[in-house]
Chain A
Amino acid sequence: MKLIAAMSGGVDSAVAAARAVDAGHEVTGVHLALSANPAKYRSGARGCCTIEDSHDARRAADVIGIPFYIWDMAEEFHDGVVEDFLSEYAAGRTPNPCLRCNEKIKFAAVLDRARAMGFDGVVTGHYARTRIGKQGKTLHRGLDHLKDQSYVLSVLTVEQISGAVFPLGDTTKIDIRAEADARGLAVAQKPDSHDICFVPSGDNAGWLRDRLGSDVGPIVDQSGVKIGEHKGAYTYTIGQRKGLGLTIPTPDGSPRFVLKIEPVTNTVVVGAREDLAITTMRGERAIWCGPSVDEKPHTGFVQIRAHGAALPCTYFFKDNLLIAILESPLLGLATGQAMVIYDGDRVVGSATICETQ
């Protein structure tokens, strides 16, 4: 196949590109410039698409021996990922920007552009697998469960999965580093990137405050009595216990947790741990990574964080909502996060959590 390798300048995408070449594909490396004003150097494990990263990507492509170009996707990234991140927080939800980036940039803008230019697909360094069987090409967890990135890929449609190549899914991270070393790739020991790439300081709350303002609002208990103040409701997460700054203790001295964020009234609601418990979640904007789900209940697993546990559940799709009923209650679930359904290690699909109870 004729493939575009999305190369971030990190070790995973470099080895993925090299493996695609070994597999006989005709590969062209592309580094996505996602920031309009990139920093010169990468600082620690945060951030990406610095000038240093683009040099690392170019160097890796040269060592592998493939053509290399830089695609400016800064506008698409800002509109599709950064703006979405801000508006989701402003609406009191907790979004996952990596998911959005895969959905709108890597396997949409890039894949579409690549296909229009005559390429067959996009190869990335994600730790996930695809299989071709009687259900068509399906998406599965990566072999290395600590690195498994199927969660952030759960926004890919069948059409997008058909154009995606993940050469690293069958290997552990530690082996990928060793392989990069053996291939003479200088990025072999480059630190993994963590956190949110467009918040290079790592201070999400501060970054949000700079952009959304810091309107002081009430922190109330479940009966609506004001017991404190906050500086921007969006800097809180459902289930959060620390950093609430409350001085009035509960009668029995038990800790309080954030139960709800109400953006319209700029109110944070707190309460007891047991009030966090939920057993049902509903998600909108469902995407199927394989055969679609209907009203008939199935048993499987739901995962609500990138590296969270797979929780046993019954799931079905009704009235345009993906519904998962948990076998045992879960404490603290923020709306805006993705609920990803698994059938064994196969990704069934995902939706954005809009309601819990």
Chain B
Amino acid sequence: MPSIYLDHAATTPMVESALIAMTEQASVLGNPSSLHTHGRSTRKSLEDAREILANELGCLPSEVIFTASGTEANNIALKGLYWAAGEFGKKVVVISSIEHHAILDPANWLASHEQAEVIELPVNPDGVIDCEFLANLVATRGSEIAVISIMHANNETGVIQPISEVVRIAGQIPVHTDAVQSFKKTPLSFSHLGVTAMTVSAHKIGGPLGIGALILKRAVEIPSLLHGGGQEREIRSGTLNAPGIVGFTTAASADYNSEEVCALRDRFVSSIQKLIPEARINGLAASRLPGIVNVTFPGTQSDTLLLLMDEQNISCSTGSACSAGVHEASHVLLAMGHSQTSAQSSLRFSFGATSTLQECDLVTSVLPDVIARGIAANNR
């Protein structure tokens, strides 16, 4: 059995052109903050890259703040916007109940260390946030809200969230969106969305690990997390990772055939529905990213399924694990109304640019046996 990678939402292979561009840049000497020729040369490449990314994201080059990860960008945005609003006594942080831990955990930290009150928006059974709940909240407590942060698309289910609607409801309240999963997979424009801040990451789109960006509206000033040389608008200090940035933006400008990925996903879904009728596709009725399929297989335990799939050389995901490595029931599925048991019987398969029809069919061909053994192990 060839090895099959269906975990592209975790990380995806680097685009060849990005790997080449990054490697070439790594051999160029010069700190982009230096004033001499070497420095200026690196700065030139880096600013070219910034313009490419701005162009891809529909923002101004000056709105791009490079970071070392999506997690860092989320932390800068959420904490920074909260602290900036704190001057006016605004203490409420609004997030959704399905955010990635890179938003959930900073929000909880703000609650435990910075007197924030965190309010989580509920989602419907298809995993879409409740805009009515948000509208009521803004109508009753709008003047207390420091920041609203709602992900653009969910990393476990791929369900796309109505961010434009959130921005409309929010009015003057700053809105941040974690668009790490959406970038390149679905149309994404910072200016069209009208958000205050947006997070993207390189390694989810075929760029290198260790580089991300926060897109922050021009003239919005927020306190920084990292203090130092003042690179990146005095908001994010640290020598800029020129090779990473060049790799990132090269990947950002590469083609991504979302229709092809979407076709694979749909084929996979209909095969599962045919072969394992009791399986339930999560978020099926919602608008979803092309590559992600989240399936509940009743009567199984996802960590058993993962082992059995891994044995067949197939990499997929169980959602989240705690620091001890124990698989936990997904908070996303729980928020969508799953029971603990059902949430722990789910797998995420995520297709990417390198996925093939043959891989899709090979995986569906082994699934029935894996599920049968998973059910047997659960009934021991």
Is A228 an interface position by the 8 A CB rule? Answer: no
B307: which of A31, A58, A69, A112 is its contact (CB, 8 Å)? Answer: A69
Interface string of A34-73 (1 = CB under 8 A from B): 0000100000000001010010001000000001011110
How far is it, in angstroms, between the C-alpha of A249 and the C-alpha of B133 when the chains are bound? 75
A117: which of B308, B321, B323 is its contact (CB, 8 Å)? Answer: B308
Given A67-B310, A117-B304, is A112 in contact with B380 using a C-beta cutoff of 8 Å? yes
What A residues does B304 contact at CB under 8 A? Answer: 113, 117
What B residues does A28 contact at CB under 8 A? Answer: 307, 311
Which residues of chain B from 350 to 380 have any CB-CB distance to chain A below 8 Å in the complex?
Answer: 373-374, 376-380
What B residues does A113 contact at CB under 8 A? Answer: 304, 377, 380
B318 CB to closest chain A CB (Å) equals 10
Chain B interface residue count, Cβ-Cβ cutoff 8 angstroms? 20
Interface string of A302-344 (1 = CB under 8 A from B): 0000000000000000000000000000000000000000000
Given A28-B307, A69-B307, is A117 in contact with B326 using a C-beta cutoff of 8 Å? no
Is A118 an interface position by the 8 A CB rule? Answer: yes
Given A28-B307, A113-B304, is A70 in contact with B373 using a C-beta cutoff of 8 Å? no
Given A28-B307, A69-B306, is A116 in contact with B325 using a C-beta cutoff of 8 Å? no
A69: which of B303, B324, B373 is its contact (CB, 8 Å)? Answer: B303
What B residues does A112 contact at CB under 8 A? Answer: 380
What A residues does B323 contact at CB under 8 A? Answer: 51
Measured CB to CB, the nearest residue on chain A to B306 is A69
What A residues does B326 contact at CB under 8 A? Answer: 33, 70, 72, 74
The reply to whether A70 and B376 form a contact with Cβ atoms under 8 Å apart is no
What B residues does A72 contact at CB under 8 A? Answer: 303, 326-327
What A residues does B307 contact at CB under 8 A? Answer: 28, 67, 69, 117
The reply to whether B376 and A116 form a contact with Cβ atoms under 8 Å apart is yes
Secondary structure at the B interface, as helix, strand, loop or mixed, is helix
B217 CB to closest chain A CB (Å) equals 40
A215 CB to closest chain B CB (Å) equals 36
Interface hub of B310, B321, B373, B377 (most chain A Cβ within 10 A)? B377
Given A28-B307, A69-B306, is A54 in contact with B380 using a C-beta cutoff of 8 Å? no
Secondary structure at the A interface, as helix, strand, loop or mixed, is mixed
B297 CB to closest chain A CB (Å) equals 15
Which residues of chain A from 84 to 123 have any CB-CB distance to chain B below 8 Å in the complex?
Answer: 109, 112-113, 115-118
B373: which of A51, A58, A109, A116 is its contact (CB, 8 Å)? Answer: A116
How far is it, in angstroms, between the C-alpha of A115 and the C-alpha of B377 when the chains are bound? 8
How far is it, in angstroms, between the C-alpha of A10 and the C-alpha of B324 when the chains are bound? 16
Count of A-B contacts judged by CB separation below 8 Å: 52
What B residues does A69 contact at CB under 8 A? Answer: 303, 306-307, 310
Measured CB to CB, the nearest residue on chain B to A73 is B326
What A residues does B303 contact at CB under 8 A? Answer: 69-72
The reply to whether B310 and A118 form a contact with Cβ atoms under 8 Å apart is no
What A residues does B324 contact at CB under 8 A? Answer: 33, 38, 49, 51, 54, 70
- Which size bracket describes the interface of A in this complex? 20 to 34
What A residues does B327 contact at CB under 8 A? Answer: 70, 72
What B residues does A109 contact at CB under 8 A? Answer: 380
B69 CB to closest chain A CB (Å) equals 22
The reply to whether B325 and A33 form a contact with Cβ atoms under 8 Å apart is yes
Given A28-B307, A69-B306, A113-B380, is A118 in contact with B325 using a C-beta cutoff of 8 Å? no
B268 CB to closest chain A CB (Å) equals 24
B312 CB to closest chain A CB (Å) equals 11
Which residues of chain A from 17 to 43 have any CB-CB distance to chain B below 8 Å in the complex?
Answer: 28, 31, 33, 38
The reply to whether B373 and A118 form a contact with Cβ atoms under 8 Å apart is yes
How far is it, in angstroms, between the C-alpha of A117 and the C-alpha of B374 when the chains are bound? 7
What B residues does A54 contact at CB under 8 A? Answer: 324-325
How far is it, in angstroms, between the C-alpha of A69 and the C-alpha of B380 when the chains are bound? 19
B379: which of A31, A58, A70, A116 is its contact (CB, 8 Å)? Answer: A116
What B residues does A118 contact at CB under 8 A? Answer: 308, 373
What B residues does A58 contact at CB under 8 A? Answer: 325
How far is it, in angstroms, between the C-alpha of A74 and the C-alpha of B376 when the chains are bound? 20
Which residues of chain B from 264 to 322 have any CB-CB distance to chain A below 8 Å in the complex?
Answer: 303-304, 306-308, 310-311, 321
How far is it, in angstroms, between the C-alpha of A116 and the C-alpha of B301 when the chains are bound? 13
How far is it, in angstroms, between the C-alpha of A31 and the C-alpha of B303 when the chains are bound? 13
The reply to whether A116 and B310 form a contact with Cβ atoms under 8 Å apart is no
How far is it, in angstroms, between the C-alpha of A183 and the C-alpha of B310 when the chains are bound? 26
How far is it, in angstroms, between the C-alpha of A164 and the C-alpha of B14 when the chains are bound? 44
Given A69-B303, A72-B303, A118-B373, is A31 in contact with B380 using a C-beta cutoff of 8 Å? no
Q: What are 18 pairs between A and B in contact, CB < 8 Å?
A: A28-B311, A33-B324, A33-B326, A51-B323, A51-B324, A54-B324, A54-B325, A67-B310, A67-B311, A70-B325, A72-B326, A72-B327, A109-B380, A116-B376, A116-B378, A117-B308, A118-B308, A118-B373
Contacts from A to B (Cβ < 8 Å): 28, 31, 33, 38, 49, 51, 54, 58, 67, 69-72, 74, 109, 112-113, 115-118
Extra 12 A-B pairs, beta carbons < 8 Å, given A71-B303, A115-B380, A117-B374: A28-B307, A33-B326, A51-B323, A67-B310, A69-B303, A69-B306, A70-B303, A109-B380, A113-B380, A116-B379, A117-B304, A117-B376
Contacts from B to A (Cβ < 8 Å): 303-304, 306-308, 310-311, 321, 323-327, 373-374, 376-380
CB-CB nearest 7 A-B residue pairs:
A112-B380, A116-B377, A70-B325, A116-B376, A72-B326, A33-B326, A117-B377
